[in-house]
Structure 1
Amino acid sequence: MKILLFTYLLMIATLGFSQNNPVDFESGGFGANWTWTVFENDTNPPLEIISNPDPNGINTSETVAKFTALEAGAPFAGCETMHGADIGMFDLTSDNAIVKIMVWKSVISDVGIKFATPPGGSFGQVLVSNTLIDQWEELTFDFTPFLGHPKATNLDQLVIFPDFNARTSDNIIYFDNITFSDGTLGIARLESNSISAYPNPVDANWHVKAMTVILEIKVTNLTGKIVQEVQPRNTNHTLDLSGLSTGIYFAEVIAEGQNKILKLIKN
């Protein structure tokens, strides 16, 4: 056991602290030779690296990944890279917080992306639905709300949920060209979208507003413990945070048709 642990730590040290991207599944690139493990997909058919079935439109790449989401599989069936290899080790920063992926799907459903640490810890997945079928589409995932999260450092695994949905048939999903870019614009979008909150930092009263009815607000500390939870059933709500200790918190705001995770600083 000690030998295995030493070998794993040595492998991490050898890899260094870097992120391997873009994930393009091309020969000589990243992704095609990685160890992808399929999970919660009934018999777990392996991820396939194949020729691009539709090399027109926005994706003219030669090779792509093919995931077969089985009807009997869980809605959250997906595939993941190997810890300690493949994508390397990295921190989530403003330089890489915007993640894009090209998908080709025959159904409309959520696609999920998640990152994990060597022990398997994660701050959770971000879900984005495709809007087109039977053609390539690029989806954008904004991870800027998780900047500063305690589980957003020392990440070494990429997890993809290609068809996050209860299925009535087997669905084939192709995905390709996973890129990471500057999250500065993502922060701007976060501050100007239809869910907003102020002030930040906050001393006592924290005001949350949304364009639709707010169903739930959960405030958690850096360990993930829920310190306050309310169900406003209104388009605005004021939380009394005067009883919280000074520090950083995360507030998940769930409203009709939308949800956001906001970083909150308590004075």
Structure 2
Amino acid sequence: MKLYTFFSLMLMTSIGLAQINPIDFEPTSGVGGDWTWTVFENDDNPPLEIVINPFPEGINTSQTVAKFTARTTGAPFAGCETMHGADIGTFDLSPDNAFVSIMVYKTVSSNVGIKFATPEGASTGELLIPNTLVNQWQRLVYDFTGIIDEPSSSGIDQLIVFPDFQARSTENVIYFDNIVFGDSSLSVAENAITIPVTASPNPATELTLIDAGVFIEELELFDLLGQSLLKVAPKRTQYQLDMQQFSTGIYIARLKGESGTTSIRIVKQ
């Protein structure tokens, strides 16, 4: 009896320290559709809807997806979040799960944000990536490895999604689906430049050399609020980025090339 109790407690502990993966909103064997999603800072806060996939094509032919209606009068950071102590489970970020991907279908290009929080209110801070495709499904990949050792990376029990992180002049409907936790194999997304992009040195105090290995048509630098800080057209495979003009922090460089787009995180010390 004692042995059974011991193994039961061990099983409960292991379940409690693992996030639900993937979040796919499917009606029978899937998860996420019956969770307590709370919409915030979105004017009258219309609830998150779980609907039949209106565009079952391309990379996402699943049956059901989440639908978020971003109000014109909603805050730029309007979003939705799971319930503390339920839904996603409790877990720590590690190299095995710190790459997080999400599929989105949008009619506009704007930042999509993801962040995590603990029961005490500690937050990882949102990572923002703009979708580069409209009127089709696109997979975005977020790299949380840079905060694995931070206090906010332990005991996480809440997921927050910002589907349309921008000021709006029109009401936007965003569909999202298939939130997956994984390792660095997730870091190459569909429609991405296939040759690994590097930045050296990174972290940087002054200059960092971005090397895509392919012809860079456009390079745009964003802060974590999604504000565009710099936009250039290198027209070559490398670009030396001057970080001296920017404050200490984390930035996202988005590169466009003939084979697609990709993003790289750059740390300014």
TM-score relative to the length of structure 2: 0.70
Report the 3-state secondary structure (helix = DSSP H, G, I; strand = E; otherwise coil) of the residue aligned with 1:151: helix
Q: How far is 1:184 from its partner?
A: 7.1
Q: How far is 1:261 from its partner?
A: 5.7
* 1:181 equivalenced with 2:201 (yes/no): no
2:243–2:268 CA contact under 8 A, matched in 1: no
In the alignment of these two chains, the number of paired residues is: 214
Runs of 4 or more, structure 1, over 6 Å off, are 12-15, 212-216, 255-259
Equivalent position of 1:17 in the other structure: 17
Cα 1:178–1:98 shift into 2, 3 Å: same
| Pairwise CA RMSD | 3.2
Q: How far is 1:236 from its partner?
A: 5.6
1:42–1:72 CA contact under 8 A, matched in 2: yes
Where does 1:120-199 land on structure 2 (aligned, <5 Å)? Answer: 120-183=121-184, 193-194=198-199, 196-197=201-202
CA distance in 1: counterparts of 2:220 and 2:14, whole angstroms: 50
2:253–2:266 CA contact under 8 A, matched in 1: no
In structure 1, runs of 5+ residues without a counterpart are 1-11, 200-205, 217-233, 238-250
Equivalent position of 1:252 in the other structure: 249
1:45–1:68 CA contact under 8 A, matched in 2: yes
Equivalent position of 1:83 in the other structure: 84
In structure 2, runs of 5+ residues without a counterpart are 1-11, 188-193, 211-218, 224-240, 255-262
1:67–1:174 CA contact under 8 A, matched in 2: yes
| Residues 23-58 of structure 1: CA deviation (Å, up to 9, x unaligned) | 000123110010000000000000000000011111
Cα 1:52–1:81 shift into 2, 3 Å: same
Q: How far is 1:194 from its partner?
A: 3.1
One-letter amino acid of the structure 2 residue matched with residue 194 of structure 1: A
Where does 1:13-92 land on structure 2 (aligned, <5 Å)? Answer: 16-27=16-27, 28-92=29-93
Q: How far is 1:97 from its partner?
A: 1.0
| Residues 78-115 of structure 1: CA deviation (Å, up to 9, x unaligned) | 00000001000000100011111110000000000000
Cα 1:51–1:124 shift into 2, 3 Å: same
2:100–2:186 CA contact under 8 A, matched in 1: no
Cα 1:145–1:77 shift into 2, 3 Å: same
Cα 1:41–1:253 shift into 2, 3 Å: closer
Cα 1:99–1:263 shift into 2, 3 Å: farther
One-letter amino acid of the structure 2 residue matched with residue 50 of structure 1: V
One-letter amino acid of the structure 2 residue matched with residue 21 of structure 1: N
One-letter amino acid of the structure 2 residue matched with residue 173 of structure 1: I
Q: How far is 1:197 from its partner?
A: 3.3
Q: How far is 1:150 from its partner?
A: 1.6
